[in-house]
Structure 1
Amino acid sequence: MAMKPTLQRPGGLPASASTSVVTPIMPSVVYASDTPDSLDDQYEGRSSGYTYAREGHPNADVLGQRIDLLEGCEDGVVTGSGMAAVSAVLLGLTKAGDHVVGGNQLYGRSLRMMTEDLPRLGIATSLADPTDVASVRAALRPETKMVVIEVVSNPTLRIADIDGIAELCREAGVLLVVDNTFTTPAAIKPFEHGADIVIHSITKLLAGHSDVTLGWVGAKDPELTQRMRVFAVTTGMTPSPYECWLAERGLMTFQLRFDRAQATAERLGAHLAGRQGVTRVLYPTRPDHPDAARAQGLLKGQGGNMLSFEIEGGRAAANAFAHAADGIAFAPTLGDVGTTLSHPASSSHRALTPEGRSAIGISEGFFRVSVGLEEPEALMATFDAGLEAAGQI
């Protein structure tokens, strides 16, 4: 008796009267439709669904919706990395002949895109000091399409005059793009301060465990979002379903992690400020911060989990400090559950000349710290060990 042939992929899931509490991982690259007509309905907006994972998948949508709620917008785009989100803005919304103004202390790869890649494509760029509206105004041209800033700069933690720049952009008819990775929506919601577009590297504090590489970008104007989405799909900026799932899990504890790390960062900053060999400490809530008044008004006491400090002794002392700070990962990242230490002169800003780094306040003894979830006392003791080693050079 001939056996009935079976299909390799019969489709469908077992029926259940209950539903999953945890979002399932859905790695399917393709999704089946009933008929050509039903596929037309999806592509033409009469029904919703998925077709091909590069164009969108459930895990990305679940994650995107959660970040949309945090930032106060709708239908943001999840991308394969933070720089993919930056690229979706800078390349998806500009063309040859346009001009872009960027903050002069953007993330290193953002600066590279501004100074090397965009000009190569015929898109002119200028850098300006985002703490000074007059500097940004002087950089504007008739062909300027957008201004790109970070609320708190990386790594010197200067505070942008986002309200003043937003007003300037409105007057000039220019888009304001804000990278909110450093500050996160727990500290500030840029859309409430006049931003047109907000960017995140989800990789950092939102996901928070150094095990995903993802980005997000959202806009007030749905037409801008759609343009960025189309560019992201066309250029293959597809996020992994598994990484989206991990990031969604990380978001569940985001506020708890932010609060704990922020409290520790403030204590660590105060501790370092009193130590021999430390020439300066940069943390937004400190009264000696160069933008203290603006930080207080803008961030409302939220200093975040990032701080920077400088030690005497140059590169030799920096090597000694990093080696002796046992248990602190020396790694160019931020937002992990563990504290990480980075040295901008040898990592994020190594492409700048020593003179260029000096101009923005980065020396060989300058460190950036992403504070994690360790006990504050243990963290301070580890930093003291590093300072003791550095002091012996």
Structure 2
Amino acid sequence: MTRPTSIVRRTGWPTSVSRPVVTPLQPSVVYSSPDPDALDAQYADASGYTYAREGHPNAQVLAEKIDMLEAVDPASGGGIITGSGMSAIGAVFLGVLQAGDHVLGGDQLYGRSLRLMTQDLPRLGIETSLADPTDLAAMEAALRPNTRMILVEVVSNPTIRVADMDGIVKLARDRGILLMVDNTFTTPAAYQPLVAGADITIHSVTKLLAGHSDATLGYVGTNDPDLRRQINDANVTWGMTPSPFDCWLAERGLHSFHLRHRATQDNATRLADALAEMPGVTKVLYPTRADHPDHNRAVALLGGQGGHMLSFVLDGGREAANALTRAAPNIAFAPTLGDIGTTLSHPPSSSHRGLTPEGRAALGISEGFFRVSVGVEDADLLISELSAAVAAATQG
């Protein structure tokens, strides 16, 4: 390292025979090159870093680790980190689609995904429609001659329905249609879309992958180099830039992902069974329960893994919903999921508030509908707290 000649000039990083155990945080927006020829060469072969919007070390480190989980071939160019889960979907749409294309989506997508499908893409001249992903015949009937892409969630948010992924993968392949899978709920610990035959997998890294509700990021993975280039160009051009600090935080969280996945899944299984026995709870949705409408498919597709998400319906409507959240002050009432601690969400007032009451009812989302993102707390504590809250909400 050269010694500084001015306090306003940057200096190189000190050298050492040892190296840091923790990935260094690199917040630099720009990177200097030795000369114009070297900069030309960097742009020509996409090596190294020039400007953080086009890539930075912390995003690359995080992408490569998620690539391992999602079985992304490094020869494709590797996964892409974006500023949020929605920007991951947006980068795919903006990079791949054009006016006149048609996109078919599952009718039980995340609320903002539904808005993107029903309001924003049509504004750009891209046709869209929705169909039930648990019904392959309905999905096939909704295809059009100009269908370019299908977007589905393996497990729907928040209704916990399980898509007919085997059928949808084959349908997309036979028709030459691109298949994008939102794997956020499922995580690659239970399902790997690219291995199953999908073209694109996306994540809200904000959720269980990062796991601590302190980093907002998205991820796109594909094994097709041409698709990867189109998506990355859109990501860079539209400025869907991930923060180095968020990437650094998410990589730290990713180190404990498998431990958290197992612990939250075990807790969710116990909590689902306990909720089903509570007076005032009229329905519980959890994939491995025998009363789940897609139980057999879930067991076959996910290897018997139910995941960390469940939903339940409380008798009594909005008044009871308000009472329940007030009676459970130690369980965060927050529109998020995948945190290391349990969070409670009310889709009618958050993720699906943009739908009409009739639209929510068609999806089975009533005013008493709750989604639970189960954390790693002691399961007995969770059951006790929710049992008391349900009793307070329904027996008043």
Per-residue CA distance 1:253-275 (angstroms, 9 max, x = gap) = 00000100000000000001111
Residue type at the aligned position of 2:348: A
Say whether 1:131 aligns with 2:134.
yes
TM-aligned CA deviation for residue 130 of structure 1: 0.4
| Structure 1 gap ranges (5+) | none
| Residue 117 in structure 1 maps to residue 115 in structure 2 | no
Q: Partner residue of 1:38?
A: 38
Deviation of 1:10 (Å): 4.4
Cα deviation, residue 119, structure 1: 0.2
Show CA shifts across 1:205-227 (max 9, x none): 00000001000001120110111
Measured in 1, the distance between the counterparts of 2:167 and 2:332 equals 38
Q: Which residue of 2 aligns with 1:29?
A: 29
Identify the residue that residue 392 of structure 1 maps to in structure 2: 395
Q: 1:356 corresponds to which residue? A: 359
What amino acid sits opposite 2:347 in the alignment?
P
Task: Answer yes or no: is 1:60 the counterpart of 2:59.
Answer: yes
The one of 312, 317, 324 equivalent to 1:314 is 317
Choose from 346, 367, 371 the match for 2:374: 371
- 1:9-158 correspondence to structure 2 within 5 Å: 9-45=9-45, 48-73=47-72, 74=74, 75-158=78-161
Deviation at 1:7, TM superposition (A): 6.6
Per-residue deviation, 1:5: 5.5
For the residue of structure 2 that corresponds to 1:92, the secondary structure is helix
For the pair 1:298 / 2:280, whether they are aligned, the reply is no
Q: Is the CA contact 1:198–1:219 (under 8 Å) kept in the aligned structure 2? A: yes
- Equivalent runs, 1:145-224 vs 2, <5 Å: 145-224=148-227
Q: How does 1:257-336 map to 2 (within 5 A)?
A: 257-336=260-339
Q: Which amino acid aligns with 2:257?
A: F
TM value normalised by structure 1: 0.97
* 1:150 CA displacement: 0.2
Give deviations 1:328-359, integer Å, cap 9, x for gaps: 00100000111000011111111111111111
Measure how far apart 1:193 and its partner are.
1.4
- Give me the whole-angstrom Cα distance separating, in 2, the residues matched to 1:293 and 1:305: 18
Q: Secondary structure at the match of 2:239?
A: coil
Quote the Cα distance in structure 2 between the aligned partners of 1:366 and 1:10. 55
Structure 1 vs Structure 2 CA RMSD: 1.1
Distance apart, 1:11 and its partner CA: 2.9
Whichever residue aligns with residue 51 of structure 2, its letter is Y
Q: Deviations over 1:3-56 (max 9, x none)?
A: x953732431112112221110000001010111111111111x7210000100
Aligned-partner Cα distance in 2 for 1:43–1:81? 26
Q: Is the deviation greater in 15-24 or in 338-347?
A: 15-24
Q: Deviations over 1:217-248 (max 9, x none)?
A: 01120110111101000011110101100000
Amino acid in structure 2 at the alignment position of 1:43: Y
2:95 alignment partner, SS class: coil
Give, in whole Å, the separation in 2 of the partners of 1:346 and 1:242: 31
Aligned residue pair count: 389
Query: Any stretches of 5+ residues in structure 2 without a counterpart?
Result: none
Give the aligned residue type for 2:362.
Answer: A
SS at match of 2:299: helix
| 8 A Cα contact 1:326 1:382, kept in partner | no
The letter of the residue matching 1:136 is M
Counterpart AA for 1:372: G
Once the two structures are superposed, residues 45-83 of structure 1 have per-residue CA deviations (whole angstroms, 9 ceiling, x without a partner) of 1x7210000100000000000000000003110001111
SS of aligned partner of 2:96: coil
One-letter amino acid of the structure 2 residue matched with residue 67 of structure 1: I
In the alignment, the residues of structure 1 paired with residue 364 and residue 11 of structure 2 have an alpha-carbon distance, to the nearest angstrom, of: 59
Question: CA, structure 1 residues 7+330, in 2 after alignment: closer, same or farther (shift >3 Å)?
Answer: closer
Tell me, in whole angstroms, the C-alpha distance in 2 between the residues paired with 1:317 and 1:190. Answer: 39
TM-score in terms of structure 2 length: 0.97
